[in-house]
Amino acid sequence: MKVAATKYFFPPESIERVLKQFRDVLESGAYLTMGKHCEEFERKFAEYVGVKYALSMNNGTSALEAIFRAIGVEGAEVVVPTNTFAATAFAVIYAGGRPVFADIGPDLTVDPNDVRKRITDKTKAVVTVHIGGLVSPNTLELMEICEEKGIYLVEDAAHAHGGMLNGKKAGCFGVAAAFSFFTTKVMTTGEGGMITTNNEEIYEKAKLMRDQAKIEGRNFHRELGNNWRMTEFQAIMGLEQLRLLEKMIEMRTKVARAYDDELSGIPKLSLMEIPPRVRPNYYKYIAFLEGYDRDKLYAEMKELGVSMGGLVYEIPLHKQPVFQRYASESLPVSEDLCSRHICPPIYPQLTEEEVSYVASCLRRCLS
């Protein structure tokens, strides 16, 4: 049996709807960027998340940079979890800020206790990353810390479309959040991103920067802008994926429950616990190895026909060469957990038979 690492979910009826709308756009001669479909996507995404504003972007990295520019991190420090994709820290640097790396907890998200140690009079914001689509209960403590210190909490929600904590969706906990619609994400437009916020000033600043900072749409500029626009084709795909999102999360959760049953009790493997009041979207299913080499396991699984999922993440940022000027000390929890977590394949189309096969292969390798 061959099992892919990931697959996006566009059932046949969705493909037909998307293609029809693509044809309509092309035949209409309408504007191909930031038109009525982008506006509809923004409105419906804001309604889904439960915020006042959503702003479509060309990718998640741009969404983060726009947020950091809008809140004014230039010359300031931003506390960033060391366990995240490099783009989180890149966006801080592109916006003129300095990333300060903090350690993580058992759920792979940033540890509030370590965040407290990193805050100085130069700190402008703290970033929480909803790793694997899990909105950690620690988010609530981070909100309290930021309110107490008078600084911003920013959500990197690139993984977390539809993830929930206490009945609230990712994207409404911080002053603003950035989502990614890259091809591997739970919902995808190939490339693309979205900012969500209840802050009108952040929304208006990001909206201005997104379109080359043109004042009232004219070729007149008071500040630096960029080309961060989303196309109508991406928005059409995004609307269709948003329509399917709850179904996709339900299907992913069913796969996760099957993995829970199949993988429990396997030697050298422990499953990451999901806290009460949390609904992950299961962008990733995460487990931890105990005394077994991960590279060896991934190679053995590949030989058995199973492509394991991408890691989140294998090398913490403070250990990467590009960030050495910002790294000052060891962050032991991340160094441990990043080195030994695994991500079996998970996507809506994964069948019970495939889940059983993946589990049997893991059991075979680890036993």
Query: For 290-299, how does the pLDDT look when each residue is reduced to its tens digit (9 = 90+)?
Result: 999 999 999 9
**Has residue 215 got a pLDDT over 90?**
yes
Six token digits for residue 288: 């931890």
Q: Domain map of the chain by residue range?
A: 12-240, 245-366
Q: Do domains 12-240 and 245-366 have the same CATH topology?
A: no
Yes or no: say if 79 and 97 are a contact pair by the CB < 8 Å rule.
no
For the chain, percent helix, then strand, then coil, each to nearest 5?
45, 15, 40
Six token digits for residue 66: 């726009």
Cα 334 to the chain's mean position, in Å? 18
152-156 and 77-81 strand pairing: unpaired
Q: Mean of the per-residue pLDDT values for the chain?
A: 97
In this structure, which topology does domain 245-366 adopt according to CATH? Aspartate Aminotransferase, domain 1 (3.90.1150)
Question: What values do phi and psi take at 188, rounded to 5?
Answer: -135, 150
Q: Which residues of 279-294 are buried (b: 16+ CB within 10 A; e: fewer)?
A: bbbbbbbbbbbeeeeb
Chain segment 48-106, per-residue pLDDT in tens:
999 999 999 999 999 999 999 999 999 999 999 999 999 999 999 999 999 999 999 99
Chain segment 341-355, per-residue pLDDT in tens:
999 999 999 999 999
Chain segment 237-266, per-residue pLDDT in tens:
999 999 999 999 999 999 999 999 999 999
What integer is the mean pLDDT of 7-11?
97
Q: Is 282 left (phi over 0), alpha (psi -120 to 50) or beta?
A: left
Between CA 32 and CA 233 the distance in angstroms is: 8
Report which of 112, 107, 98, 199 is spatially closest to residue 149, judged by C-alpha positions: 112
Could you tell me the pLDDT band of residue 206, with boundaries at 50, 70 and 90? very high
What's the confidence (pLDDT) of residue 315? 98
3-class DSSP assignment, residue 49: helix
**Which string of DSSP letters, residue by residue, matches 284-305?**
---EEESSS-HHHHHHHHHHTT
**Has residue 217 got a pLDDT over 90?**
no
Between CA 58 and CA 214 the distance in angstroms is: 17
Neighbour tally for 131: CB within 10 Å? 29
Yes or no: say if 206 and 66 are a contact pair by the CB < 8 Å rule.
yes
Cα 87–Cα 317–Cα 125 angle in degrees, nearest 5: 65
Could you tell me the pLDDT band of residue 328, with boundaries at 50, 70 and 90? confident
Q: What is the dihedral sign for C-alpha 4, 245, 59, 150? A: negative
Longest dimension (CA), the chain: 67
Six token digits for residue 270: 């422990």
**Has residue 364 got a pLDDT over 90?**
yes
Q: What is the share, in percent, of the chain residues with pLDDT greater than 70? A: 100
Q: Which helix (H) or strand (E) holds 66?
A: helix 60-71
Six token digits for residue 221: 């500029």
What's the confidence (pLDDT) of residue 357? 98
What integer is the mean pLDDT of 209-236?
96
| 12-240 under CATH 3.40.640.10, yes or no | yes
What integer is the mean pLDDT of 298-310?
98
